[in-house]
Structure 1
Amino acid sequence: MNTYIIFFVTFLALSSSSLAAAETETEFHYQKGAQADPSKWMSAKHEWKVCGLGKRQSPINLTPEIARSIHNSTKLFQTYYKPVEATLKNRGYDMMVSWDDDAGHIIINGTDYKLVQSHWHAPSEHFLNGERMAMELHMVHKSEEGHLAVIGVLFREGAPNAFISRIMDKINSIAEIQDGEAVIGEIDPREFGWDLTKFYEYSGSLTTPPCTEDVEWTIVSKVGTVSREQINALVDARRGGYEANARPAQPLHQRMVYLNEQAVASEH
């Protein structure tokens, strides 16, 4: 099944990034007061200076007041996903799902972005109406030129998340193993579940060093739920300053933020 979603792309030209941009370096911390906590990322390495000096940093606080509303624009956002064997990896600073083969791609305004991986942050990195949620899912995509497009989904504490429930035993099996991996079988990226009938979009950066300002962000407005047990499982798998792996909200710096609300068409 292919899903076609009309999507207004407000930013066409982004600065170039390296092919390694979808991966992140590990010599940083989130723990306040640590040698390389978020306030010190810019001084930890020369290559990370943009973390403090950049004007398009992520995450940000998303509110209807700062966003320009769009309804049923004519630009295209298309998703083409398919089920492929996947692997879960404990990277120490997060849990990541990666696909062993091509799991599909999205097309934004004519540019293909291949699905690279997905991972979770707890608590959330983006704020919604000034509120930090319990968790945030990032679906990371990359173009042939190395540019990134990330779909973000926010979660409140509540009912269990269906996808996390499916792989809960795998999460627990590698929770204590740095760089541990577990095969999780065939995973269709659509199983993560999101509703793109209403979403925020803006031009931003990676939320971890090197904070490259080359990311097209799409943050789903509809908030999902995740149970306390699931949050604890993902948080307990992290150690050494990564237990709360969420960067503080960054200044907007006059950037345009768009709130897109529209109907979704699907093709089977």
Structure 2
Amino acid sequence: MAISGVSIFVVGIALLVSVPLSQQNEEVHLKFSYSGETGPDKWGSLKPEFSTCSTGKLQSPVNIVTKDVIYNPKLQPLNRDYRTSNSTLINHGYSIGLFYGSDKVGVMIHDGKNYTLKQVHWHSPSEHTINGIRYPLELHQVHIADDGSISVVGVLYNYGAPDLLLLQIKSKLDELAKEACGEDEIAKIPIGHMGTKYLRRGAFKYYRYVGSLTTPPCTQNVTWTIIAKVREVSKEQIEALTAPLEGSCKSNSRPVQALYGRKIELYNAMPNKI
């Protein structure tokens, strides 16, 4: 079903997490893309509010060089208590995402703080790289704490067997691809209740650093957790995720950003196998 009245691109929770929780249901309108005059290297100059995209020193994504990561024995296992939840599949033109309603989907706990899962979305190819390798797909699980803190879990995918999460929404993705989504429209497909167990699969090893949102306004001080285990997704599933996107966003990954002295930490449940 087409919803009219927005600009070229509508930034969803990935942007809305940068404003108070009480305002997260308000649509924020802005224009950006992944190539040309509104591409990533121009984001910082598109609007004053986007200046951090160019000037920030804590930007994401980054390249994770495994020989340079620092093992931190104080990091804790990811405690994710997700449950079946009502959700909506949304095409923003620049990405496809699953957005959760007012139901509390569950929490992730780290550093003694509870973060509620708000949405998940996909980037193809991956935004983060490991030792310079860019993978075909990356999933972002966006969490918000009561104080507005943002924590994102990133999962990388290589080509292989179909991803079980995407299998659950295959028919809805096909339906979404048939919906009009032009300059003045986004498409929303109700999903209803769906399982979330595939979102909380074990993370026995992960990388942790402080970065930013990877779309304008590139808000900083986001806690990133990149799962070390690379999962599998089929080529057909990636094609289904990119088919509904705007032409300039078929490839919707921001280039890696400089670390500016930041250290990437490692959690490993089996440190003897680092």
Segment drifting more, 22-31 vs 128-137: 22-31
- What is the Cα-based RMSD across aligned positions, in Å? 2.1
Deviations 1:64-83 (A, max 9, x none): 12210134x36464222111
Q: Give yes or no for contact 2:122–2:139 (8 Å, CA) kept in 1.
A: yes
- Per-residue deviation at 1:93? 1.0
- Counterpart in 2 of 1:191? 198
Structure 1, unmatched stretches of 5+, are 1-15, 264-268
Q: Does structure 1 residue 203 correspond to structure 2 residue 205?
A: no
Q: 2:231 aligns with which of 224, 242, 256?
A: 224
Q: Percent identity?
A: 37
Distance 1:43 1:17 in 2: 19
Segment drifting more, 134-143 vs 99-108: 99-108
Distance 1:17 1:86 in 2: 21
- Counterpart in 1 of 2:90? 89
Higher helix proportion (structure 1 or 2) = 2
Distance 1:215 1:246 in 2: 18
Aligned to 2:42, the other structure's residue is in SS state helix
Give 1:1-268 correspondences, 5 Å limit: 17-19=18-20, 26-31=30-35, 34-71=36-73, 73=74, 75=76, 77-100=78-101, 101-177=103-179, 178=181, 179-192=186-199, 194-262=201-269
Distance 1:163 1:17, change over 3 A: closer
- Per-residue deviation at 1:246? 0.2
Distance 1:64 1:25 in 2: 38
- Per-residue deviation at 1:237? 1.1
Residue identity matched to 1:169? S
Distance 1:227 1:193 in 2: 20
Distance 1:230 1:75 in 2: 33
Distance 1:157 1:26, change over 3 A: farther
Q: Give yes or no for contact 2:75–2:267 (8 Å, CA) kept in 1.
A: no
Q: Which runs of 4 or more aligned residues in structure 1 lie more than 6 Å from their structure 2 counterparts after TM superposition? A: 20-24
Distance 1:17 1:89, change over 3 A: closer
- Counterpart in 2 of 1:266? none
Distance 1:256 1:25, change over 3 A: farther
Q: Give yes or no for contact 1:89–1:182 (8 Å, CA) kept in 2.
A: yes
Aligned residues, how many?
245
Structure 2 length normalisation: TM-score? 0.84
Aligned to 1:97, the other structure's residue is in SS state strand
Distance 1:19 1:254 in 2: 30
Q: Give yes or no for contact 2:77–2:269 (8 Å, CA) kept in 1.
A: no
- Per-residue deviation at 1:176? 3.7
- Per-residue deviation at 1:147? 1.4
Deviations 1:113-137 (A, max 9, x none): 1111000000000001110000000
Distance 2:211 2:236 in 1: 32
- Counterpart in 2 of 1:7? none
Distance 2:268 2:254 in 1: 27
Q: Give yes or no for contact 1:87–1:182 (8 Å, CA) kept in 2.
A: yes
Distance 1:193 1:211, change over 3 A: same
Segment drifting more, 105-114 vs 195-204: 105-114
Q: Give yes or no for contact 2:66–2:130 (8 Å, CA) kept in 1.
A: no
